[in-house]
Amino acid sequence: MKAAVLTEFNKIEIIDKVRPSISDDEVLVKVKYNGICGTDLHVMQGHHPAAVPPLVMGHEFSGTVEKKGKHVGDEIKIRDRVVVQPYESCGECEPCKSGCENVCRELKIFGVHRDGAYQEYVNVKASRLFRLDDSISDIAAALIEPLAVAVHDVKKSGLKIGGSVIVIGGGPIGLLIAVVAGINGASKIAISEINPARIKKARQLGFQVINPAEENLADKAYKMTDGRGFDAVFEVSGSRPGTEAMTMLAKTSGTIVIVGIPPEKHPVDTDTVFKKELNIVGVRLYSKVDFQAAVDIMKNEENRRKLMELVSAEYPLEQLTEAIAYLRNSSDAYKVLIKIGE
């Protein structure tokens, strides 16, 4: 099969390699599309401590079942169209036993700890498959994994119907969080963003935008919330200014969700955390329930139309390096998809 291999940091080579074998509880998935994730950029540059070349990156993928192991049940059939929850957990550690397999102590993420989906075939545990109905195209299906991230983040915020939300950072995950917050009944949704292209996209999707480079972020935020502050603040930028602003933007007893991965540690205003009695929540990946919710969200035509507006470009597998460069260097790039199979 054809595979795009990170042979050394910042160098991808297209090679021929043997298809993966499958165990009795696995299936072989023929990959159709894979979305480029920010994690791929970190891995490629050598900024992820767990990822070591040679490695096949990629974990946001859709495909079809090509082969299945002898212990895989009849509910999964050859040629089923599927998406994959792209990590493996041990099932034995305390987090796993308490229902938090997304923070398993032995977590193995596709494209980071093991080969991922920038190749024609991937071996996957059958328990990680989610079948697709005909309403969801292969392209739309490749958005389900990052959508599951947003589902998990919004759930962890404890957002209630009619609540208010501000997202610091209007990139792909930030906008997905805003979309999911709207689906979950948020009455006010704002995006804090300084990039003109991202501001334009956020407004196209119907969100209010505050540009801290041009207006006072706190003044505008409190005006939008009648002086209270926001029920839920999602810090998605991973930036120092975002970290400094998040406690200021939250209402008393509000919740801050730390989504963005900062390049370095940033100080947090613990005095404001104390005075407002704020809740600060960390998030990582998603649960199986979150992933199924993302699949269900994508079944809705209006949701799907809005989410597909985030697709910026499509490249063949042979141009993965060029696709990553486009995503890294273009201010108006959101989700860039790699087409791998027919």
Residues forming the active site: 39, 42
Taking alpha carbons only, the member of 82, 207, 83, 99 closest to residue 152 is: 99
Q: Any idea how long the chain is? A: 342
What is the rounded CA–CA span in Å between residue 152 and residue 317?
30
DSSP state of 170: -
Give the count of beta carbons closer than 10 Å to the beta carbon of residue 36.
28
227: left (phi over 0), alpha (psi -120 to 50) or beta: left
Tell me which residue of 35, 38, 36 sits closest to 236, measured CA to CA: 38
* 338 torsion bin: left (phi>0), alpha (psi -120 to 50), beta (else): beta
Number of helical H runs and strand E runs in the chain: 12, 17
Residues 6+ positions from 277 with CB-CB distance below 8 Å: 252, 253
Using CA atoms, how far apart are residues 117 and 106, in angstroms rounded to an integer?
Answer: 20
For 4, phi and psi rounded to 5 degrees? -100, 110
